[in-house]
Structure 1
Amino acid sequence: MSKPSTAARRALHPLALACALALPPLAHAQSAPAAEDPAARKAVTLDAVQVTAERRVENIQDVPIAITVVDGETLTAYDAAGEDVRVLSARLPSLNIESSFGRAFPRFYIRGLGNTDFDLNASQPVSLVYDDVVQENPILKGFPMFDMAAVEMYRGPQGTLFGRNSPAGVIRFSSARPEQTFGGYARLGYGTYGTANLEGALTGALAPTLSARVSLLHQRRDNWIDNLYNGRGKDLEGYRETAARLQLLWQPSDTFEALANVHVRKLDGTARVFRAGAIAPGGNRLAPGLRRDQVSLDAANTQHLDGDGASLRMQWDLGRVTVHAISGYEHVKVYSRGDIDGGSVYVFPPLLPGQALFPAESADGLPYHRQLSQEVRVESNDWGRFDWQAGAFWFNERIRIDSFSYDGFGGPQTGYATQRQDNTAWAVFASGDYDLTAALKLRGGLRYTRDSKDFTAQRVTGPFGPPIAPIHVSPRGSNLSGDASALYQLSPATNVYLRVATGFRAPSVQGRLLFADASLPASQLVTVADSEKVRSLELGLKSQLWDNRVRLGLAAFHYQVRDLQLTAVGGDANVARLVNARRARGQGLELDLEAQLTDALYVTAGASLNDTRIQDPTLAVFGCVLDLCGVRDPANPDPARPGTFLLDGNPLPQAPKYVANMTARYGVPLAGGELYVLTDWAYKSSANFFLYESVSFRSRPMVEGGLRVGYSWQDGQRELALFGRNITNTMYATSGIDFNNLTGMLNEPRIWGVQLSVKF
């Protein structure tokens, strides 16, 4: 992406984009140097946004996919309060992110497609690619964002070039690359609850052909929630997270480069706080008297994570073609223990905050994880009207999951179960584009994938049942997916496109045996979801307006999913199992808007409408315990499945119908620098927490806002800012647990703070 001129930086500091919520914004503004005559000075305009959605650098306007881009400097404002990747939720059209595992395990949903599964081998239909390496395990998807060049979100099936479980779309993180010129930055923020955020990077030449970049992040927050059960004092929701990255870029010639990346992550703190009775009976409002900074839990709470990884990306320019090779290694260990019932008082029925039916304290661990991946890709170098790329991909992951149950606050272990999974996949793919005329470009591609899993689960000791002997399954799946599109240039500033695409998610396995009924058949103890396949149609428009001061993106889409993989969690049966819905469909509209309204005022806006439906007249799951949540779905008439409810016609879980966001930044020159005010707001409508519809387990509409007031000087090399996140201190439930009571989990609290940034 091109950089703004010095004059433009004075008029629009990069943090103008700082809270851009919506779209491919995040292009900086630029202008010509100021002339002596103000009337002769050119208006500030928007730079072109370069993306790699098709695995080659292109102008976002020329790519026939709905894309939202957030550059590295825009993320500065978001993570000033020590936020993790969930901060992007509702700040990009059609994107929702939530977690019952805290910072360690985010769950992504694009256009309503996602996965509520909390198991440590959960398969998600949103693929996350970090520095060109797919992050398959859900724990890997929580790696922090720091020293980023850009975040790109590609909506819709990406079954050709990003084919690893991507039927909903891809989120792609790209770190800033090493440079030969010495430079770097340091950024220190401090705020409410002892929230600290330190981020920095150094880059420069080690030799004429070798450059390096070292990046560091440290985030922390003091415990700020008082557990009333063990007396006064702050006990929960604190964390210490450190991540670092070292990159070495070797460029011995104009035709070859190798970029090596080594990264580590360490997280220590408390697990997600579950709050018994957080949701008031008979509605979805928070219970009266619920306090964000108080709970009463009679179980231990802790979370620890250690991860590391490495990659090597090489490319050879052979003249007519360029060869790319990407090798990746990832490893992570995690242990998380918490009070699952979320309370300390056990009554029948549990109706008030802190009340539950029975105690439940458990832990999950990932003591062993190893992921290897390899991709080789060949792309043509400007073959005229026709360009192409083709390649092969290989992936292998081995994991072991341990599950534990405990008795009381720090009490003895009462149960232990384990799962092992070995997953191997390979694929071959090819894609090409052809300029049929000067105005009409055609694109298309195909990918063949083969996926196999070997999975074993057993319960060694049960908290209230006998051991369960090892159960072994080996699901296999293969698929041919692809895409075809046409992009037509209506004018030099406006393109329209039509895209048809398919995607594929390999078979998934779920085998949480710790609390399972040992008398059930093996097929109900270890469940397998068949391959999921999606077909999508998208029509879009991309335009640059008002002398390149406004960028507009519009998309309309419709998709059908066959054998949709869903996870039935909790409920009256206290089980977690995979199911396939025969079909599901989604349709909607999306808007991305970025505008430099005046030289001083920059705004962005984004919005989406997602209408989703499960289409399966026989699919049924258990509802909440004792129907405390008020299930709205019809009871299943099948006498073989008493206590279950039919799901046909329900929207997908965690799929808000409406998402909207906006930012506005106003800056004025002052004393050799710039004083600016930036505000951002995000909205998402209500959504079901689970597969069934109920009165209580449904989020309420949410609005959150941010504010930043800053002063920058020395052409933006120095900056001091005051910031606030969730400035209205909105409190709402983001998700729930339904097997024991009306347990809920809350959004992040309000944080006020100050941040100092230095570039050099």
Structure 2
Amino acid sequence: MPAFAQDAKAPQASDAPAKQNEEIVVTAQFREQKLQDTPLAITAVTSAMLDSRSQTNISEVANQAPSVVLRPQGASFGPSLTATIRGLGQADFNPAYEPGVGLYIDDVYYPRLTGANFDLLDVERVEILRGPQGTITGRNSEGGAIKFISRRPNGTDGGYLQATYGSRNRIQMRGSADFTLAPSLYARVSGTFSHQEGFVDRIDYGCANPGSGIASTRAGGDCVVGKDGSVGYQAIRAMLRYNPDDRVDILLSGDYVNDSRTNPPEVLIYANLNNANTNPAPGVPYDSRFICGQFCNYATTGQPAGTWKGPVAAGFPLVGTQGENQSTYKGYGLSGNIDLKLSDSLKLTSITAYRNWKTRFNSDDDLSPANIGFGENRLTHWFWSQELRLNAKIGDIAEATVGGFYSDEKTTYFTFQDIRYAPIPLQFIGNDPVRSKSKAVFGTVIVHPAPALTLTGGIRYTDESKSYTFFRKGPDGVTPNVFLGALDNVTGRYSGNKVDYRGSVDYRFSPELLVYATVATGFKGGGIGPRPFNPAQAQPFNPEKVTSYEIGFKSDLFDKRVRFNVSGFYNKFKDAQLTLLSCPQFGGPGPCALPQNAGNADIKGFEAELAATPVEGLQIDGSLSYVKWNWKCVAIQVVRPLAAGETNACSSDPAVVGLLNPQPPIKWQWSAGIQYEIPMGTSGDTLTPRFDAAYQGALLGSTTVNANPVIAALDKIPGRTIANARLTYKNVSHAFDISVEVTNLFDHYYYQTNFDLTGAGAGLIKAQPGRPREWAITVKKKF
């Protein structure tokens, strides 16, 4: 008789296993590896995680990454980003500096902080590599590297459309589509549009304070002349992929970004300067009367013509300066990624890229009708790079990678600076070309001497050069500036080379536990101080270097329902680059913005990350980090003038070390998130509430300690905890979802950044408040 298969038993609720953590594949070591098999401290964030947390740009990703701080900059630094990992990084946008955190989009290096606050457009995942990556991603990754991996065209002929509406007329449209053009030839197009009104009122002081002695520019009615902190962002990306088989994969991509918005939201928190050249009206000093409030300022974006009142150069004519309260950034990029499988054991990768952008922004530093300082800034930039890598598999015993990298870059920085708090009148035009070149060769070997044991070794040689030419013209743009003319057409040059290495050993005690130990080096390039106010301040600075010792473990516990990773590190940091805002040791009193190698420090800390799915539908994640910085010695001339007969040694004298503020900017960070996917009856639809909270500790401002307790208290951004909530409905096929989100749920008032110019003599501290509580509704349809 024929045998019939028995009907399968209908699954019962008690039979359903708890969902395991998602298996994430990363490419941190030039090849695809499971996250839990990679002996590096990595935070990997998938697109699903980004959606569930309401994260749409790079600075938001850092909220859940331990030891990582990404913050948008204020108006004085334009549309740029401050980025640090484990306390190492960079905040200044000027092309004379190098970033200490490497940024990569599809393996293409992004060399500048300007324009780096990327929208997460059609991202498959984000990999945040913590610790120096000198042998993997090269120079300027001393703190770590952040890699964005886009969704590749794959011939699914699918895509999505997403629309958001929220607070202050927030309108955001996002979408992508995947096409099959021909057999083995695929395309993908994605784009985003974002608009939102600002949240810091820019108020006409004379209108709001009649009888103050300061004239109003308003004819009457509302005294609000604009709103800072708006959003106006559009971007599009197109990809073309040829993938006939597993031996050939060619990806060509291009993108365009147009970011136009009002100036970053800033408020004045300290004002104290009585200077006839800067006062907004005769007898009206610059003081606390111009502190407007939590969400307003009196910025005028310009200064009137007049004559210098001395005591030096009395009667010197001053021209009027004026600019828009607008920041713009336009850029495009082209890249080609070619993967060729030469044999079963050899793979060749070529990465070619070109990027071009221009930006324009103005800054009224005093945020008032006073005449402290105003700057018009325009930068144009191009960057070209080529990387070649050869991956080899040597039986079952080893894998190896060798390669080379070359880049050429030029940024021209035009600026009209009108600085009236200095002892001399400083109205000058700069149009400074900055040229940088870098070339490197590298190699990595991964050896498996025993089934559970892996040894990794890497080395990289980097040769770099930079030139910075100063143009210091008068307001006519032709005649050398009367006071800075000695700098006009002077070129500063820097060149250097560095060998970085990495050694790592990891052992898998069981399928659940991997333990590793690593020693690695990295560096951030040197250069020439870009903002000298006299010839004595045209000082060079050398690279800063770090050697890191790290141990850690990665674990998948309880049938992969709990993922718990921990790392501890100890860094030997040398020749730290810090910017001085007061430097009488270089040319006497007056403005200063001089980078110098400040000394050596020991940095130690730990990081922990948790991801758990204890029962079906429930997800819990969290992170914790602690970083402690201890100056071992400080270069004397960085903190005070040299005494008679004294040399500029790196001193361990507590009296010298104590003049420098401790670093890093943040010691403690933590985050916690929880969500639960609730089935809605028998339909298969789900409703998912999610809650996130993230804490970042206090952020120090100036480099040197300020003896004034009032200024010292304000020159510190207090720690803050920000909570977000989201409720998402998805239909059974997950092709349609709608979500309601609230960010900064408890409407906490906090600062993103602050900028202290008291040490330079400007008598002001301004800060950038974070966004207040906002709500949004998002609808997404997949097809």
Q: What is the TM-score with the length of structure 2 in the denominator?
A: 0.83
Counterpart position of 1:256: 248
Cα 1:712/1:253, change in 2 over 3 Å:
closer
Aligned positions of 1:116-195 closer than 5 A: 116-195=91-170
Counterpart position of 1:364: 377
- 2:781 maps to a residue whose letter is V
Counterpart position of 2:457: 444
Deviation digits for residues 35-68 of structure 1 (CA, Å, limit 9, x no counterpart) = 5322222221113221111010001111111000
Verify: 1:36 aligned to 2:11, yes or no: yes
Q: Which residue of the other structure, out of 483, 490, 496, is the alignment partner of 1:477? A: 496
Cα 1:678/1:689, change in 2 over 3 Å:
same
Verify: 1:435 aligned to 2:453, yes or no: no
Verify: 1:328 aligned to 2:345, yes or no: no
Counterpart position of 2:405: 393
Does the 8 Å CA contact 1:432/1:444 hold for their aligned counterparts? yes
Verify: 1:701 aligned to 2:725, yes or no: no
Does the 8 Å CA contact 2:17/2:616 hold for their aligned counterparts? no
Deviation digits for residues 323-344 of structure 1 (CA, Å, limit 9, x no counterpart) = 0000010111000112111223
CA distance in 2, matches of 1:433, 1:654: 33
CA distance in 1, matches of 2:193, 2:300: 31
- Return the offset for 1:611: 0.5
> 3-state DSSP class of the match of 2:59?
helix
Aligned positions of 1:557-568 closer than 5 A: 557-568=569-580
Cα 1:406/1:288, change in 2 over 3 Å:
closer
- Return the offset for 1:714: 3.2
- Return the offset for 1:663: 0.5
Q: Which residue of the other structure, out of 737, 746, 750, is the alignment partner of 2:769? A: 746
Counterpart position of 2:234: 242
Deviation digits for residues 4-26 of structure 1 (CA, Å, limit 9, x no counterpart) = xxxxxxxxxxxxxxxxxxxxxxx
Counterpart position of 2:692: 680
Q: Which residue of the other structure, out of 216, 233, 245, is the alignment partner of 2:191? A: 216
> 3-state DSSP class of the match of 2:60?
helix
Does the 8 Å CA contact 2:391/2:400 hold for their aligned counterparts? yes
CA distance in 2, matches of 1:280, 1:98: 28
CA distance in 2, matches of 1:167, 1:210: 39
Q: Which residue of the other structure, out of 579, 585, 590, is the alignment partner of 2:607? A: 590
- Return the offset for 1:649: 8.1
> 3-state DSSP class of the match of 1:398?
strand
Does the 8 Å CA contact 2:457/2:501 hold for their aligned counterparts? yes
> 3-state DSSP class of the match of 1:459?
coil
CA distance in 2, matches of 1:69, 1:279: 43
Does the 8 Å CA contact 2:267/2:295 hold for their aligned counterparts? no
CA distance in 2, matches of 1:214, 1:38: 42
Counterpart position of 2:64: 91
Verify: 1:551 aligned to 2:563, yes or no: yes
Does the 8 Å CA contact 1:374/1:395 hold for their aligned counterparts? yes
Verify: 1:308 aligned to 2:281, yes or no: no
Cα 1:415/1:79, change in 2 over 3 Å:
farther
- 2:666 maps to a residue whose letter is P
Does the 8 Å CA contact 1:621/1:646 hold for their aligned counterparts? no
> 3-state DSSP class of the match of 2:592?
coil
Counterpart position of 2:306: none
CA distance in 1, matches of 2:428, 2:398: 61
- Return the offset for 1:717: 1.1
More displaced 10-residue stretch of structure 1: 298-307 or 661-670 = 298-307
* Uncovered stretches (5+) of structure 2, i.e. residues with no partner: 1-7, 205-217, 274-287, 302-323, 421-425, 476-480, 584-588, 647-654, 706-711
- Return the offset for 1:584: 1.9
Q: Which residue of the other structure, out of 534, 549, 562, is the alignment partner of 1:537? A: 549
- 1:541 maps to a residue whose letter is F
> 3-state DSSP class of the match of 1:89?
helix
CA distance in 2, matches of 1:86, 1:552: 24
Deviation digits for residues 340-392 of structure 1 (CA, Å, limit 9, x no counterpart) = 11223x5xxxxxxxxxxx421112211x3110000010001362111111001
Counterpart position of 1:632: none
CA distance in 1, matches of 2:104, 2:516: 25
> 3-state DSSP class of the match of 1:90?
helix
CA distance in 2, matches of 1:428, 1:648: 41
CA distance in 2, matches of 1:546, 1:279: 58
Cα 1:474/1:51, change in 2 over 3 Å:
same
Does the 8 Å CA contact 2:332/2:356 hold for their aligned counterparts? yes
- 1:658 maps to a residue whose letter is W
Counterpart position of 2:779: 756
> 3-state DSSP class of the match of 2:14?
helix
Aligned-residue CA RMSD in angstroms?
A: 2.7
Q: Which residue of the other structure, out of 269, 286, 294, is the alignment partner of 1:277? A: 269
CA distance in 1, matches of 2:99, 2:580: 15
Cα 1:38/1:76, change in 2 over 3 Å:
closer
CA distance in 1, matches of 2:74, 2:340: 42
Work out which structure has the larger RCO, using CA pairs closer than 8 Å and 6 or more positions apart in sequence.
Answer: 1
Does the 8 Å CA contact 2:299/2:364 hold for their aligned counterparts? yes
Cα 1:228/1:110, change in 2 over 3 Å:
same
Cα 1:472/1:407, change in 2 over 3 Å:
closer
CA distance in 1, matches of 2:411, 2:771: 31
Cα 1:79/1:382, change in 2 over 3 Å:
farther
Does the 8 Å CA contact 1:177/1:213 hold for their aligned counterparts? yes
Cα 1:288/1:578, change in 2 over 3 Å:
closer
Q: Return the index of the structure with the highest Cα Rg.
A: 2
Verify: 1:615 aligned to 2:590, yes or no: no
Cα 1:532/1:457, change in 2 over 3 Å:
same
> 3-state DSSP class of the match of 1:73?
helix
CA distance in 2, matches of 1:573, 1:151: 44
Q: What is the TM-score with the length of structure 1 in the denominator?
A: 0.85
> 3-state DSSP class of the match of 1:164?
coil
Counterpart position of 1:670: 680
Cα 1:90/1:278, change in 2 over 3 Å:
farther
Counterpart position of 1:225: 200
Counterpart position of 2:514: 495
CA distance in 2, matches of 1:611, 1:161: 26
Cα 1:668/1:313, change in 2 over 3 Å:
same
Counterpart position of 2:620: 603
Counterpart position of 2:73: 100
> 3-state DSSP class of the match of 1:417?
strand
Verify: 1:70 aligned to 2:45, yes or no: yes
Counterpart position of 1:658: 668
Counterpart position of 1:419: 432
Does the 8 Å CA contact 1:274/1:341 hold for their aligned counterparts? no
Does the 8 Å CA contact 1:121/1:137 hold for their aligned counterparts? no
> 3-state DSSP class of the match of 1:44?
coil
CA distance in 2, matches of 1:52, 1:279: 50
Cα 1:374/1:321, change in 2 over 3 Å:
same
- 1:711 maps to a residue whose letter is Y
Does the 8 Å CA contact 2:164/2:172 hold for their aligned counterparts? yes
* Uncovered stretches (5+) of structure 1, i.e. residues with no partner: 1-32, 347-357, 623-634
- 1:97 maps to a residue whose letter is L
Does the 8 Å CA contact 2:545/2:573 hold for their aligned counterparts? yes
More displaced 10-residue stretch of structure 1: 442-451 or 713-722 = 713-722
- 1:749 maps to a residue whose letter is P
- Return the offset for 1:233: 5.0
Counterpart position of 1:631: none
Does the 8 Å CA contact 1:544/1:550 hold for their aligned counterparts? yes
- 2:15 maps to a residue whose letter is A
Counterpart position of 2:423: none
CA distance in 2, matches of 1:428, 1:485: 20
- Return the offset for 1:196: 1.8
- Return the offset for 1:182: 0.7
- 2:615 maps to a residue whose letter is T
Does the 8 Å CA contact 1:618/1:648 hold for their aligned counterparts? no
More displaced 10-residue stretch of structure 1: 689-698 or 427-436 = 689-698
Percent identity over the alignment is: 24
